[in-house]
């Protein structure tokens, strides 16, 4: 057997004439390379040793594991037990409808940046939006981060690829005059209280639909946000905890909101008497005629869109009522910290980033006020 050079590992010539070389990986496993010449095998071993030192070459539990096998395991063992049901369904659909059909047969250890770029371009050519492809990229990136932590792969190839650029969607917030028209049009409507709450508290749609009378303190004029309600495919309506600790919060009610809720409560009790034994007592504030959870599509189609039309307003999203609440408060010089706590943002930076469009006008007012102060006016 020929003498080994330094750092080459073990090199030998096989009976069939091929040269082979082996090095021991961290964890005790061995990597073997083959070649037609001793020099070529030696160079391959030196490169492999360099990769080990850089942390690029790591042992795997099963080098034959495919991306599809890994994602299936990751969804059931990591995502499903630890994330919200709606998030799990979203991740599952992204994996099974997009990633696995295109890349599922590829070995996990062999996935390359070029393959991801080709995959993303193919998704765009099929008509999926850059925002959707960006979401696919984020799901894959998150899964491969776990694969790196478990030492199944040496690095996350998603970190070497840029997701498609997404144009920022401009939010549509109602100004003060439009908000007044909206509330005037809502007076006497069946869901008046819901729309008043949406515009005066900034609560999310799911939080409003998950609100229970036990969460209310009408004497103190406060609401405790403890859950959200969402329809999950295959599971029906599911109550979920707030996304963050800040999402679990207490909100003060305006007198307008308190009055609207009191009137709504009175009418709901009448509806309950009419329903008799068919009423399902779930203690929900906003529900259908039988006490059951309200379908979002019915809320939007039967109540929200007709109300916008009645008020002569453009067709904005329900979520834009939340934006309107925050924008109106900031325009009144409400402290951003107060707005953050009202909306349940995890940090104040989220609030400021989301409503940065409101800051310039506030900055002008502040600078003019400083000028007057320094001039002694």
Residues belonging to the active site:
204, 235, 319, 322, 345, 355
Contact 200, 214 (CB under 8 A): no
Structure tokens at 282: 């779930």
Distance CA 317, CA 253 (A): 23
User: SS3 for the chain, per residue?
Assistant: CCCCCCCCCEEEECCCCCEEEEEECCCCCEEEEEECCHHHHHHHHHHHHHHHHHCCCCCCCCCCCEHHHHHHHHHHHHHHHHCCHHHHHHHHHHHHHHHHHHHCCCEHHHCCHHHHHHHHHHHHHCCCCHHHHHHHHHHHHHHHHHHHHCCCCCCCHHHHCCCCCCCCCCCCCCCHHHHHHHHHHHCCCCCHHHHHHHHHHCCCHHHHHCCEHHHEECCCCEEEECCEEEEECCCEEEEECCCCHHHCEEEECCHHHHHHHHHHHHHHHHHHHHHHHHCCCCCECCECCCCCECCHHHHHHHHHHHHHHHCCCCCCCCHHHHHHHHHHHHHCCCCHHHHHHHHCCCCHHHHHHHCHHHHHHHHHHHHHHHHHHHCCC
What is the Rg, in whole angstroms, of the alpha carbon atoms belonging to the chain?
30
């Amino acid at each position: 057997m020929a003498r080994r050079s330094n750092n080459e590992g073990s090199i030998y010539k096989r009976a069939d004439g091929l040269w082979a070389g082996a090095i021991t990986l961290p964890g005790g496993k061995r990597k073997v390379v083959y070649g037609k010449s001793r020099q070529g095998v030696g160079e391959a071993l030196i490169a492999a040793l360099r990769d080990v030192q850089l942390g690029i070459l790591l042992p795997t539990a099963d080098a034959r594991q495919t991306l599809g096998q890994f994602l299936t395991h990751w969804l059931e063992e990591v995502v499903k037990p630890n994330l919200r049901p709606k998030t799990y369904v979203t991740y599952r659909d992204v994996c099974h409808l997009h990633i696995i059909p295109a890349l599922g047969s590829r070995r996990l250890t062999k996935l390359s940046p070029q393959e991801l770029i080709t995959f993303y371009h193919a998704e765009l050519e099929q008509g999926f939006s850059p925002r959707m492809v960006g979401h696919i990229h984020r799901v894959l990136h998150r899964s491969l981060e776990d694969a790196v932590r478990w030492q199944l792969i040496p690095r996350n190839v998603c970190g070497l690829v840029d997701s498609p650029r997404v144009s920022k969607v401009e939010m549509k917030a109602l100004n003060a005059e439009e908000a007044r028209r909206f509330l005037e049009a809502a007076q006497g409507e069946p869901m008046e209280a819901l729309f008043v709450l949406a515009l005066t508290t900034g609560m999310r749609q799911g939080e409003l639909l998950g609100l229970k009378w036990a969460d209310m303190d009408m004497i103190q004029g406060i609401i405790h946000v403890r859950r959200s309600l969402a329809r999950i495919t295959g599971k029906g309506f599911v109550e979920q905890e707030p996304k963050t600790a800040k999402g679990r919060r207490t909100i003060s009610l305006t007198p307008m909101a308190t009055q609207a809720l009191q009137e709504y409560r009175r009418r709901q009790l009448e509806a309950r008497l009419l329903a008799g034994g068919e009423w399902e007592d779930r203690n929900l504030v906003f529900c259908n005629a039988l006490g059951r959870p309200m379908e979002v599509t019915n809320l939007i189609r039967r109540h929200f869109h007709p109300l916008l039309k009645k008020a002569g307003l453009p067709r904005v999203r329900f979520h834009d009522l939340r934006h309107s609440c925050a924008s109106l408060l900031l325009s009144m010089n409400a402290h951003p910290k107060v707005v953050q706590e009202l909306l349940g943002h995890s940090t104040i930076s989220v609030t400021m980033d989301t409503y940065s469009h409101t800051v310039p006008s506030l900055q002008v007012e502040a600078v003019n006020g400083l000028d007057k102060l320094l001039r002694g006016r």
